[in-house]
RNA sequence: UCGGGGAUGGUGUAAUUGGCAACACAUCUGGUUCUGGUCCAGACAUUGGGGGUUCAAGUCCUCCUCCCCGAACCA
């Protein structure tokens, strides 16, 4: 397939596929709806941290603007003083930047409170909004239900002057919380429930994190979102499917306001869902509050801060988002797909290192000693990244006593097991061929030491006589090894759709989502890893250096593992 | 119950708008390889169901089924 957009960055894998959003923008451009202008916005509420689902929306909003020469702003939809906070706003800004996007401008819905107030008065003056003195329960009951029409409020036909007066006094703080609301006067018979005189303002004597105590009344989402879009000059207001029914209301408000800009259009797309993952802010907060995870950035969380800490490259997330595309079909993507993008990216850029996570000693019985009787130490040249020659090589100390992975030795090898076993010859990566001559076991039968001889002719990894080995295993020199810890992560939930069994995802937590290995042996150069750097532990996977703990690595994602598949297959039989 | 939206392999997204169902992931076969990684080659769907229009239907018409969203002074 040839990418029709030659200016697209190949790294982003923009395959130029069209979708309903892009088609709409193209149509609008052709018809001159916005005079060829394209402007989008990403509108988070600062009441939680961004997660992988937001990444899809962010990538879409920015991509649409970028592809059509438009702009994309960040706007905080901060209309609810009860839940919002600066710290969330700051983390959202940081996460978007990390993802690789830069908003042209940063706006706040709360900056529009004055304009909104003025526009509300405009609607009242036109007989399109009224103050309702009823409580929430009553209003809700009067709204009716699916297939049941609503009942009009007894306050619906107040005079414009009375409404104006009441609204002014609401704003002045004369009434207690919950005693009055401003409602749009639309249609209590509407089949679309959103149109049954929705609430525009509610009274809340609360401190707003940006507005302080200036406002005792706060606009609702519906009475702020489209207005913010219009004020900023947004053309295409992209949101998720659950807002589809709100579009009629979005349009109604805008239709009835004296707008200076073109009237923006809302379009909805399916949110991103992942298998084995929850992406509800409420549920994520629950996991944090209940101590199920260590925080919003616990590497098992789907938040961007967690993925960052875990070592996910932002490019991989962007490529994933671009690859899954955008549609109106509800879908849940396999987490494996995301992981495959992470592997692809990391394979290209990650430096290779050797680390032994579950060590067992390997002694080379014919390894030479020096004049003092000490084992000779050799420095082996190891390739840093076979995918990128420019990354060069490094020297790894090698001697007669090494650590290898417990998994890489079996006293009684099963079929198709290629690694070390008595009588078997394997290659030590970047080192020598070794042949197992036996093993020492403890009283319980556990292997405590593997004994081998090495072939000095195989230095560098190949035998002059051309004989082959079936396996190459990694190792760390015992006397040079640096001790450290590795956190192995698995999915937080054990079911593809967490909560599908009982309705509560917490019932389906994976008890093995974290395994901390505390006796790991690292090759010495790993002590110099930069905080946050991601390396490949050869044959194991990609691991991110913890930003704070110098000898702690988090498993980003494992390598594809054919041997694991073989074992899985055997188990099934 | 009413309104809105949706249905294409195991999974997700495509299909020049009526013209040989493509791409990726997963899985399986084989090859290459100093990572059981990477890479390369191959295998894997008659498009939710019925009826219709047409030389030709995933695309159009019709009936049906199933799934998602909506009755917050949340967003």
**pLDDT tens per residue, range A305-321:** 999 999 999 999 999 99
Residue spans per domain, chain A:
1-104+222-276+302-333, 109-219, 355-481, 483-573
Domains A355-481 and A483-573 share a fold: yes
**Is strand B within 7 Å of residue A7 (CB)?**
no
d(CA A567, CA A71): 51
Would residue A115 show up in a list of annotated catalytic residues for this protein?
no
pLDDT (0 to 100) of residue A118: 98
Q: Which of residues 224-263 of A touch strand B (CB under 7 A)?
A: 224-225, 241-246
Would residue A268 show up in a list of annotated catalytic residues for this protein?
no
d(CA A448, CA A428): 19
* Confidence band of A568 (pLDDT split at 50, 70, 90): confident
Partners of residue A544 on adjacent β-strands: A534, A554
pLDDT (0 to 100) of residue A44: 97
**Residue A565 CB partners (closer than 8 Å, separation 6+):** none
- pLDDT reading at A5 higher than 50: no
- CB of A513 closer than 8 Å to CB of A497: no
Would residue A281 show up in a list of annotated catalytic residues for this protein?
yes
Q: How far, in Å, is the CA of A431 from the C1' of nucleotide B35? A: 13
Q: What is the pLDDT of residues A166-224, one digit of tens each?
A: 999 999 999 999 999 999 999 999 999 999 999 999 999 999 999 999 999 999 999 99
Considering the segment(s) A1-104+222-276+302-333 as one domain, its CATH architecture is: 3-Layer(aba) Sandwich (3.40)
* Among A104, A143, A210, A271, the one annotated catalytic: A271
- pLDDT reading at A35 higher than 50: yes
Q: Which of residues 209-228 of A touch strand B (CB under 7 A)?
A: 218-222, 224-225
**Is strand B within 7 Å of residue A560 (CB)?**
yes
* Among A37, A75, A171, A281, the one annotated catalytic: A281
Three-state DSSP at A537 gives: strand
Superfamily of domain A483-573: Ribosomal Protein L25; Chain P (2.40.240.10)
**C1'-nearest nucleotide to the CA of A141:** B71
pLDDT (0 to 100) of residue A434: 97
- pLDDT reading at A26 higher than 90: no
- pLDDT reading at A504 higher than 90: no
**Is strand B within 7 Å of residue A77 (CB)?**
yes
Q: Which of A226, A233, A271, A232 shows the shortest CA–CA distance to A249?
A: A226
Dihedral angle sign, alpha carbons of residues A29, A34, A35, A37: negative
d(CA A136, CA A474): 66
- pLDDT reading at A13 higher than 60: no
Q: What is the pLDDT of residues A449-491, one digit of tens each?
A: 999 999 999 998 899 998 999 999 999 999 999 999 999 999 9
Q: What is the ipTM of this complex?
A: 0.93
pLDDT (0 to 100) of residue A31: 87
Question: Closest CA to B13 C1' — which residue?
Answer: A324
**Is strand B within 7 Å of residue A280 (CB)?**
no
**Is strand B within 7 Å of residue A413 (CB)?**
no
Q: How far, in Å, is the CA of A420 from the C1' of nucleotide B28? A: 27
Question: Closest CA to B4 C1' — which residue?
Answer: A245
pLDDT (0 to 100) of residue A569: 86
Three-state DSSP at A105 gives: coil
Q: What is the pLDDT of residues A274-311, one digit of tens each?
A: 999 999 999 999 999 999 999 999 999 999 999 999 99
- CB of A524 closer than 8 Å to CB of A397: yes
**Is strand B within 7 Å of residue A352 (CB)?**
yes
- Does A30 or A129 have the greater pLDDT score? A129
As a whole number, mean pLDDT of residues A89-118 equals 97
pLDDT (0 to 100) of residue A2: 25
Question: Closest CA to B12 C1' — which residue?
Answer: A333
Percent of chain A residues topping a pLDDT of 90: 87
User: Which CATH fold would you assign to the domain A355-481?
Assistant: Ribosomal Protein L25; Chain P (2.40.240)
Considering the segment(s) A109-219 as one domain, its CATH architecture is: Alpha-Beta Complex (3.90)
- pLDDT reading at A4 higher than 70: no
Q: First-to-last CA distance in chain A?
A: 40
As a whole number, mean pLDDT of residues A116-122 equals 98
Q: What is the pLDDT of residues A509-532, one digit of tens each?
A: 999 999 999 999 999 999 999 999
Q: What is the pLDDT of residues A531-563, one digit of tens each?
A: 999 999 999 999 999 999 989 999 999 999 999
* Confidence band of A122 (pLDDT split at 50, 70, 90): very high
**Is strand B within 7 Å of residue A1 (CB)?**
yes
Q: How far, in Å, is the CA of A101 from the C1' of nucleotide B30? A: 43
Q: How far, in Å, is the CA of A167 from the C1' of nucleotide B60? A: 54
Question: Closest CA to B7 C1' — which residue?
Answer: A329
**Is strand B within 7 Å of residue A491 (CB)?**
no
- pLDDT reading at A15 higher than 60: no
* Confidence band of A12 (pLDDT split at 50, 70, 90): very low
Q: How far, in Å, is the CA of A11 from the C1' of nucleotide B45? A: 30
* Confidence band of A573 (pLDDT split at 50, 70, 90): low
Which CA distances in Å does A422 have to A181, A408, A433? Answer: 81, 12, 14
Q: How far, in Å, is the CA of A571 from the C1' of nucleotide B43? A: 24
Partners of residue A403 on adjacent β-strands: A361, A476
- CB of A536 closer than 8 Å to CB of A521: no
**C1'-nearest nucleotide to the CA of A408:** B36
Question: Closest CA to B70 C1' — which residue?
Answer: A245
pLDDT (0 to 100) of residue A330: 85
Q: Which of residues 146-165 of A touch strand B (CB under 7 A)?
A: 146-148
Three-state DSSP at A95 gives: helix
As a whole number, mean pLDDT of residues A346-357 equals 97
- Which nucleotides of strand B are protein-proximal, with an atom < 7 A from a CB? 1-8, 10-15, 17, 22-28, 34-39, 67-75
- pLDDT reading at A17 higher than 60: no
Number of H-type helices and E-type strands within chain A: 13, 27
Least confident of A141-150, A311-320, A388-397, A491-500: A491-500
């Amino acid at each position: 397939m040839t990418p029709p957009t030659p200016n697209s960055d190949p790294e982003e894998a923009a395959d130029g596929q069209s979708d309903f959003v892009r088609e709409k923008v193209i149509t609008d451009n052709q018809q001159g709806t916005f005079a060829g202008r394209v402007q989008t916005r990403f509108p988070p509420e600062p009441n939680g941290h961004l997660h992988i689902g937001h990444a899809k929306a962010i990538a879409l909003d920015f991509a649409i603007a970028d592809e059509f020469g438009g702009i994309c702003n960040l706007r905080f939809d901060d209309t609810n003083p009860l839940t919002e906070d600066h710290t969330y706003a700051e983390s959202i800004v940081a996460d978007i930047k990390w993802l690789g996007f830069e908003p042209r401008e940063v706006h706040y819905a709360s900056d529009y409170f004055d304009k909104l107030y003025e526009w509300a008065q405009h609607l009242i003056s036109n007989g399109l909004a009224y103050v309702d003195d009823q409580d929430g329960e009553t209003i809700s009951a009067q709204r009716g239900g699916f297939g049941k029409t609503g009942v009009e409020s007894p306050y619906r036909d107040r005079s414009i002057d009375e409404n104006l007066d009441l609204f002014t006094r609401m704003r002045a703080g004369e009434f207690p919380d919950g005693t009055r609301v401003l409602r749009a006067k639309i249609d209590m018979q509407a089949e679309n429930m959103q149109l049954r005189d929705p609430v525009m303002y509610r009274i809340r004597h609360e401190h707003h994190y940006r507005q302080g105590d200036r406002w005792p009344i706060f606009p609702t989402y519906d009475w702020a979102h489209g207005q913010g879009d219009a004020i900023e000059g947004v053309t295409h207001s992209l949101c998720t499917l659950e807002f589809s029914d709100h579009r009629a209301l979005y349009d109604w408000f805008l239709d009835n306001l004296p707008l200076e800009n073109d009237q923006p259009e809302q379009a909805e797309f399916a949110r991103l869902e992942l298998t084995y993952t929850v992406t509800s802010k409420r549920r994520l907060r629950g996991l944090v509050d209940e101590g199920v995870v260590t925080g919003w950035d616990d590497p098992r969380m789907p938040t961007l801060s967690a993925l960052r800490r875990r070592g996910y490259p932002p490019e991989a997330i962007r490529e994933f988002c671009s690859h899954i595309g955008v549609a109106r079909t509800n879908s849940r993507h396999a987490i494996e797909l995301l992981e495959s993008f992470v592997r692809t990216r990391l394979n290209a850029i990650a430096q290779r290192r050797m680390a032994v996570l579950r060590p067992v000693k390997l002694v080379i019985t014919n390894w030479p000693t020096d004049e003092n009787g000490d084992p000779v130490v050799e420095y082996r040249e190891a390739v840093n990244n076979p995918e990128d020659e420019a990354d060069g090589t490094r020297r790894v100390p090698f001697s007669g006593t090494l650590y290898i992975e417990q998994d890489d030795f079996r006293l009684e090898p099963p079929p198709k097991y290629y690694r070390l076993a008595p009588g078997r010859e394997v290659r030590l990566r970047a080192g020598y061929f070794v042949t197992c001559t036996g093993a020492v076991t403890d009283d319980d039968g556990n292997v405590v030491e593997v004994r081998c001889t090495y072939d000095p002719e195989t230095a560098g990894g190949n035998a002059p006589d051309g004989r082959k080995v079936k396996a190459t295993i990694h190792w760390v020199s015992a006397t040079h090894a640096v001790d450290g810890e590795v956190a192995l992560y698995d999915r937080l939930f054990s079911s593809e759709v967490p909560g599908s069994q009982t309705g509560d995802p917490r019932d389906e937590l994976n008890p093995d989502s974290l395994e901390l290995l505390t006796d790991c042996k690292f090759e010495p150069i790993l002590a110099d890893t930069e905080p946050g750097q991601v390396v490949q532990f050869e044959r194991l996977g990609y691991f991110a250096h913890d930003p704070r703990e110098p000898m702690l690595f988090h498993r980003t994602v494992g390598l594809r593992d054919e041997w694991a598949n073989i074992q899985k297959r055997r188990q099934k039989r």
